[in-house]
């Protein structure tokens, strides 16, 4: 079976029309994709702007609360935070002194308990008390050796005065002892120098 085109100009016209329709459809599709992308970017920008506006409003509210001296609740929280920071900054760190104690403890001694007390009252002991025993025997010379070593340690003496043998108990097989190391207090000469220098 043979097909003969008796109208070749119409065939060419239809080919041009279908190519034009395909081009128009492709352009419409690309335009739609562009509109979708632009819409997505617009929505994202609006969301970010909305979040920024909320943050700006919150910041402005906090700034106005901070600038308002009549806000008693905020003042109370601020004062508590300030007091906490002052306490933390003035807190004594005992780590260097405890490291020196560990490094200078003779092998013959066994520490069983350590107590640290701080008080601004002159009548109350303020310092460190070491409770321990000898590994064997009743000769307290290792205790005196420990006191001499601590007295020669600048890191220990930065916190404590020279320690002393407070008590000795020789009633058992091995001697038990208590060492008292008073907390270093600023001397009156230091405070007077600081007062005159300021």
Q: Which two tokens stand for residue 119?
A: 């008080």
CATH of segment(s) 95-185: 3.30.1360.100
Residue 144: Cβ within 10 Å count: 12
Q: What share of the chain has pLDDT > 70, as a percent?
A: 70
Instruction: Give me the residue spans of the domains in the chain.
Output: 9-91, 95-185
DSSP per residue over 39-103, as a string?
HHHHHHHHHHHHHHHHHHHHHHHHHHHHH-TT-HHHHHHHHHHHHHHHHHHH----HHHHHHHHH
The structure's pTM equals 0.48
pLDDT digits (tens, 9 = 90+) for 38-78: 776 667 767 777 777 778 787 777 777 666 655 666 667 76
Q: Is the confidence at residue 178, as pLDDT, over 90?
A: yes
């Amino acid at each position: 079976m043979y097909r003969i085109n008796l109208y070749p100009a119409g065939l060419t016209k239809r080919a041009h029309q279908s190519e034009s329709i395909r081009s128009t459809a492709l352009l419409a599709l690309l335009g739609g994709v562009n509109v979708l992308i632009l819409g997505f970017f617009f929505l994202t920008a609006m969301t970010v702007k909305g979040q920024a506006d909320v943050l700006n409003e919150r910041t402005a509210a906090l700034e106005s609360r901070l600038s308002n001296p009549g806000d008693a609740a905020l003042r109370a929280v601020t004062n508590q935070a300030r007091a906490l920071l002052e306490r933390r900054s003035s807190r004594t760190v005992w780590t260097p002194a405890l490291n020196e104690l560990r490094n200078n403890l003779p092998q013959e001694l066994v520490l069983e308990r350590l107590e640290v007390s701080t008080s601004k009252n002159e009548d109350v002991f303020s310092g460190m008390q070491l409770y321990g025993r000898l590994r064997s025997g009743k000769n307290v010379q290792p205790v005196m050796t420990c006191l001499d070593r601590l007295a020669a340690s600048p890191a220990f003496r930065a916190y404590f005065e020279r320690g002393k043998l407070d008590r000795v108990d020789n009633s058992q097989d091995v001697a038990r002892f208590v060492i008292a190391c008073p907390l270093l207090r600023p001397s009156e000469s230091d405070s007077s120098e600081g007062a005159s220098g300021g």
